[in-house]
Amino acid sequence: MSTAGLTADQLAAVKSFARGNGRNWKSELRSAWETGNYASYGNSRALQEIRNTLGSKWLIRLQGPASCHESDAERTGGALGPDLEFAEAI
C-alpha cells in the first residue's frame, strides 16, 4: 500500500511523527490511534484523519525507513530530512 491516498498535510504529519518517534514509530502511532493520546504531537488531526479513512491495515502495509530518529539524520548528513520516502509494500 502506498501513500497515494494521503493529502500533503497527512503525509507531512506521518513523516514528522516517524522522525520524532524513531524506529518504533509505527507502534507508537498505532498506540496513539488506539488511545487517542498523541502526547504533545502538534498535528494529531491529520493522523486521526488517516486512521479514520485508511485504517490500521494501511499502517501495517506501509513501509518506511527502519529508523527516522534525529540522530540517524545527523549520522547520514540529513538524509532523513523533508524528502523522507515511503515505499509501497510488496
Per residue in 26-61, pLDDT (tens digit) is 999 999 999 988 877 778 899 999 999 998 888 888
* Structural domain includes residue 12: yes
Does the structure show a pLDDT above 70 at 71? no
Q: How many CB atoms lie within 10 A of CB 43?
A: 16
Quote the CA–CA distance of 73 and 3 in Å, as a whole number.
Answer: 22
* Structural domain includes residue 37: yes
Read off the pLDDT band of 9 (50, 70, 90). Answer: very high
Residue that wins the pLDDT comparison between 44 and 5: 44
* Structural domain includes residue 85: no
C-alpha of 22 from chain center: 10
pTM: 0.68
* Structural domain includes residue 70: yes
pLDDT averaged over every residue in the chain: 73
Which structural domain, as residue segments, surrounds residue 62? 8-75
Residue of 33, 27, 83 lying closest to 53 (CA atoms): 33
Number of structural domains the chain divides into: 1
CA distances from 52 to 45, 56, 66 (A): 10, 9, 25
Rama region for 89: left / alpha / beta (φ>0; ψ in -120 to 50; rest): beta
